[in-house]
Amino acid sequence: MHMKDDQIPEDIMPLINAIVEDPNLKSWFFTLSEMPHNVRVSVLGQMKKKMLAKKKGSEFIHLVEELNDEVIFSAVIKTVRKMTENKGN
């Protein structure tokens, strides 16, 4: 997928909003951002396997897969940080 560094796929915005609103999810996401790319991909892969086993919706699995893309993840983390700062959290 070709996109600018600050472009967010529209289907990811609900996930971003959920991360910004939930302190536990935000903490987990910031922890993910500190991991090397290969470790993050492994963690997200494990998450995907658990979601498949629990028969979670394919839209959630798709979002997890999108986060494996370095450019998308970088844009998402920047957006989460910006929204968190604007919110004052």
Per-residue pLDDT tens for 8-60? 888 899 889 999 999 999 999 999 999 999 999 999 999 888 888 887 777 77
How is the chain split into domains, by residue range?
12-84
For residue 6, the model assigns a pLDDT of 58
From 59-63, 65-69, 72-76, the region with the lowest mean pLDDT: 59-63
Long-range contacts of 27-36 (CB under 8 A, 24+ apart): 29/77, 29/80, 30/77, 30/80, 32/67, 33/73, 33/77
